Amino acid sequence: VLTQSPLNLPVTLGQSASISCTSSQSLVHSDGKIYLNWFVQRPGQAPRRLIYKVSARDSGVSGRFSGSGSDTDFTLKVSSVEADDVGVYYCMQGTHWPPTFGQGTKVEI
Amino acid sequence: QIQLAQSGAEWKQPGASVRISCKASGYIFGNFGVAWVRQAPGQGLEWLGWISASTGDSKFSQTVQGRVTFTTETSTATAYMDLRSLKLSDSATYFCARASSSAVGGVSIWGPGTRVTVSS
């Protein structure tokens, strides 16, 4: 089970925001890697991956997004929040079957 | 440019079946898997399962196991999801997404989604 907090996150433009994702079990795979991803879903759109394997940024993703964490506790940080950053953010683990998502964190300005 | 294109919205009665297609472009289809995820209105994301595009091996979540079939057609780079015995609770937007070839790791690129409405 992945538990995100907070579930609602009002942010101020230009400020930083952090979302926590806690797993009920270790997300270290037998291959030694941690398959923890972060997605953002804007209204009416499909999710878009921002971060994979805890901290690797997808191509085209702003450097303002960073992921960190280990084992069971993970964080997505958005620095200098922009208006375009609004949406619902999900963490997702791909280590254990079936993959699971957090409940989502709604970020609004 | 990597893209996944999905079939259009469907309206079905309870007990019916639905087939959703997912056509991939911009990458070697057989080198990856395809995952299926759904999202009920106003709700979060639910993983349904995965299929290897090269071998056809499939894995399913318990939620839909026994009612769902995943197939792929490598000649057209298309994946299909068939969901049978539809229930009102199956009303959702269904997404396909590019996954790893091993079912480990999660997904990267998503299709736009297909809205399925189950109603009498």
B106-117 pLDDT tens trace? 899 999 999 999
Task: Provide the pLDDT for residue B53.
Answer: 94
Neighbours of B91 (CB within 10 A): 17
pLDDT in tens, A15-36: 999 999 999 999 999 999 999 9
Q: Does A95 contact B47 at a Cβ distance shorter than 8 Å?
A: no
pLDDT band for position B96 (50/70/90)?
A: very high
B interface residues, A as partner, C-beta within 8 Å: 35, 44-47, 49, 59, 61-62, 95, 100, 103-113
Region A49-71: what's the mean pLDDT?
96
Do strands B3-6 and B18-25 pair parallel, antiparallel, or not at all (unpaired)?
A: antiparallel
Residue B47 has pLDDT above 90, yes or no: yes
Burial state string for B23-43 with b = 16 or more CB within 10 A and e = fewer than 16: bbeebebeebbbbbbbbeeee
A49 interface with B at CB cutoff 8 Å = yes
What is the Cα–Cα distance from B79 to B111, expressed in whole angstroms?
11
pLDDT band for position B19 (50/70/90)?
A: very high
